[in-house]
Structure 1
Amino acid sequence: MLKNLVQYIYTGWCGIMFVIPMIIFTPLMVIPLLISRKLDGITFFFIRCWVYMFGITTGIWFIGHHKKSVDRKRSFIFVINHTSFLDACAIPIAIPSSLVGLGKKELSKIPVFGWVTSRWAVWVDRSSPESRREGSRKLKEVLNGGTSVLIAPEGTRNNTDELLLPFRHGPFRLAIESQISVIPVVIHNASKLMRRGSLLLKPGVVHSYVLPEVPVTGLTEDDIPALTDRVFKMMKEKIVELNGSH
């Protein structure tokens, strides 16, 4: 009983320290993007400051591995596994590039968080084919402008015992149509700090691993299933490796 009470109090504290730094850094994160998309490097610097402050005050730390393998002068389609709300903090530490993410429309309704993140997110109603098509069109515009894109190909948070949910074809169709390489990123340990199906948190370290770039040059629509399967296997093998080494 006492353990549960402590965890509830700790989770409440984490929620406070998630929101307060976000409010503090909001002007510094949003204003550069209102001026010009070319200033998004400033925005992401302060996003990382927000994450570091969250980590320092809560004991939940985020470490990115193999970030130097990413060419920051190029745009990519980054794909991640999605197991926890902590992924939102892990992403800016895992990926050194400026990003625009594809997110569920429901997240845009979260007070403060939804308004702030809408400046670098494309919200999509996944139940609407028209909304998905419009989201894809906006992401193509972002890629053509030289900014990278982030998508969770599972389509939703993985609350099952499976290592990964089946991947949707959307991110890989976008990669082939845009002729932009895919870079898989595996987020590890987040589900241990926030158990699946629960909002309760505990302190610890979330690791993220950038996997090798997957080129799509010359691929066509017929190659979408094979590309999807290739990236799925890469990420699953990495998760199996990490689970075996911890």
Structure 2
Amino acid sequence: MIIFLPGIVLPFFFGSRFGVVGYFFLYLWSWVFSQLTFIRYKFYGRENFKKGKAYIYVSNHTSFLDLPGIRMIIPGQFRPLAKKELLKIPIFGWIAQAATIIVDRSSPESRKKSIDRLKQLLRQGISILIFAEGTQNRTKEILQPFHDGAFRIAVDTQRPILPMVVIGAGRLMPPGTINLRPGLIRIYVGDEIPTEGLSTNEVKDLKEKTFAKMKELYIKNA
């Protein structure tokens, strides 16, 4: 991470369109991390990414190991919504500051600013990533209940949702620990969920539809 740090962080100082350079180095870091730790990622559903479209990626979240795989499967640059606590992690906090949209979940003002920034990026043609559960899943359930944020943004911007599920990451590095072991992580990308024509009254229905599709995708491939 230290070796790739300048290539990851510096491009973002020159504006959003240079983020593609930073994300290229993030891809390199993710691949090297995978090789050195003997953690392998297998990807399914890459054909569901349509070139030139800005998506709202919605993923489950079970481990810090989700992130390298998600970076490797998503083409080009995007911006994850990240909690401010990540800024406290040495070195990685600098990367999070540069390459993500940070939110302080305890502050309504911070939440509003982060949502406005995510919408602005979508208008610029840059996809965003939101872990709809809000935090890593520490329960025995396949998915935790989703928050509304991703789906309100989808309706407000009329951008499609592209759901994905990560399987196996929590077993290799459980939430809240630094225990790490080699193994296989699989990431599945589902079919696009359109939002054109939806109104704010249909946010709940969109959230429930996405939840159901992601749960089905997980159960089908678990």
Deviates more, 1:181-190 or 1:119-128: 119-128
CA-CA distance at 1:52 after TM superposition: 1.1
1:161 pairs, out of 121, 127, 140, with 140
> Which residue pairs with 1:172 in the alignment?
151
Which ranges of structure 1 fall in alignment gaps of 5 or more residues?
1-21
Distance across 2 between alignment mates of 1:122 and 1:109? 15
TM-score using structure 1 length:
0.86
- 1:144 and 2:123 are equivalent in the alignment: yes
Q: In the alignment, residue 40 of structure 1 is paired with which amino acid?
A: G
Q: In the alignment, residue 81 of structure 1 is paired with which amino acid?
A: N
Q: Percent identity between the aligned chains? A: 39
- 1:238 and 2:196 are equivalent in the alignment: no
Q: SS where residue 3 of structure 2 aligns?
A: helix
CA contact (8 A) 2:86 2:96 kept: no
> Which residue pairs with 1:83 in the alignment?
62
Where do 1:196-207 residues align within 5 Å?
196-207=175-186
Distance across 1 between alignment mates of 2:221 and 2:165? 10
> Which residue pairs with 1:223 in the alignment?
202
Q: Structure 1: which 4+ aligned runs deviate by more than 6 Å?
A: none
Deviates more, 1:84-93 or 1:32-41: 32-41
> Which residue pairs with 1:19 in the alignment?
none
Distance across 1 between alignment mates of 2:100 and 2:25? 16
> Which residue pairs with 1:94 in the alignment?
73
Give the number of the structure whose residues are more often helix, by fraction. Answer: 1
2:99 pairs, out of 106, 112, 120, with 120
CA-CA distance at 1:173 after TM superposition: 0.3
> Which residue pairs with 1:130 in the alignment?
109
Distance across 1 between alignment mates of 2:123 and 2:174? 38
1:111 pairs, out of 90, 106, 112, with 90
TM-score using structure 2 length:
0.95
| Alignment root-mean-square deviation, CA | 1.3
- 1:23 and 2:2 are equivalent in the alignment: yes
1:75-94 CA-to-partner distances (Å, cap 9, x unmatched) read 11001100001112121012
Deviates more, 1:228-237 or 1:190-199: 190-199
